[in-house]
Amino acid sequence: MHSTRRKRVIIAGMGFGGINAAQELAGSGLDVVLLDRNNYHLFQPLLYQVATAGLEQESIAYPIRALIRNWYNLSYQMGEITGLDPASSRVLTDDGELVYDYLILAGGSVTNFFGNQGIARHAFDLKKLTDAERLRNSILTNFEQASREVDLQKRKALLSFVVVGGGPTGVEFAGALSELIRFVFRNDYPTLRLEDSRVLLLEAASSLLGAMPKRLGSYAEKRLQQMGVEVRCNCLVADATETEVHLANGEIIAARTLFWSAGVKACPLAAMLLGEKGPGGRVPVKSDLTLNQYDNVYVVGDMACFQQDNRILPMMAPVAIQQGRHAARSIISREQGGTAEPFHYLDKGSMATIGRSSAVATAFGLSLYGFLAWLTWLFLHLYYLIGFRNRIVVLLNWSWYYWFHERQVRLITAVSQTTKEPGDQ
């Protein structure tokens, strides 16, 4: 008797698209191989809270092997993809090659510095777990240095934080950082005049949260200003050095911290595919999310350039989740003799938290702001966070901060060479 080889599906990337595709394919009878350079799924929307000392790194990440332990027919391989050969249905990795019957590319996105090398060299961004820890270390170290700096101008530069990009990430980070300074550092650093500290949010467009109704952007701007954030719209950043941020109008802001959230682009995995690319290096796909040349290769999430209602779908987690599920269901349907249905994105809305008890949200044509939007934001983020322990830990951290205005994760876990004391190795 000859055994029939099970069809193999490779999912490249364990972000929101990849993990939801894997869940749909569990128990399908297909041989599913999960590929990622990290051994965990990262809940990226809460990275800014790690950077602002609100959450531990471990509370927003979940081990892939633990996640798939009870998902049948799934295996995980840790590795870096070094090449793609869709003509022969092969994925090349740093540990050899894998042959597939179906491939789901869900590599996500990276920060887009738009070719500006000065900004890329000196700005912080938030795409990886290590990015959040590095940014938190820098913020805390700046305050430690400022507490013993005698020169007023140098001290003000250490306490100045420039946030570029008025989308959800920029708004959330600016609000969280402002609260950290006003409520926590005020007590931690009694010798500092925190009036010398500045948080500036710079947005190139005419308003914040451009994807949301204008009144929600106006509410976010007003709320941030009440929290002490300096908001500037129609403001372009031209360059940056280690100690300065240069604006397009010629103004120079002395600041030791520049956080960049002004754009993303498809990850390098997209460039491994031949053919023309869409905006941000994204890969154009057909109506069922497959490649034009290869109908056994699906591209989902931030990598995919998919048009609906004459606009390209945004690079957001809800899009990736729905596309990952659709790709998996399409593969199962084809294996059962059915046809692949076209993908249609159901826009359930978007949201952003501004600070304690304050957020904005849109859902099915309704606009919410203030405390109700904040509760909605809390519930949905807890719901989509993977792992019961993680949900409990995050909820306890949020509750503790809500009642006591205290953030427990104020740990400097790495010291840069420039701040080491003489004699340190």
d(CA 80, CA 73): 22
Tell me if the pTM is above 0.75.
yes
State the pLDDT at residue 424.
Answer: 41
Mean pLDDT of 194-213: 95
E-assigned strand segments in 79-214: 81-85, 90-93, 96-99, 102-105, 109-111, 160-164, 198-202
**Averaged pLDDT score across all residues of the chain:** 93
Asked if residue 198 has pLDDT above 50, the reply is: yes
Asked if residue 161 has pLDDT above 70, the reply is: yes
How confident is the model over 369-385, as pLDDT tens digits? Answer: 999 999 999 999 999 99
Asked if residue 27 has pLDDT above 50, the reply is: yes
The secondary structure element, H or E, covering residue 25 is: helix 16-25
Name the pairing type of β-strands 257-260 and 40-42.
unpaired
Share of the chain above pLDDT 90, in %: 89
Q: Which of 24, 133, 172, 203 is catalytic?
A: 172
State the pLDDT at residue 416.
Answer: 53
172 is annotated as an active-site residue: yes
Asked if residue 173 has pLDDT above 70, the reply is: yes
Domains within the chain, CATH numbers bracketed: 8-111+264-335 (3.50.50.60), 117-262 (3.50.50.100)
Local confidence band at 2 (pLDDT 50, 70, 90 cut-offs): very low
CB count within 10 Å of CB 107 equals 27
State the pLDDT at residue 4.
Answer: 67
Asked if residue 56 has pLDDT above 60, the reply is: yes
Local confidence band at 415 (pLDDT 50, 70, 90 cut-offs): low
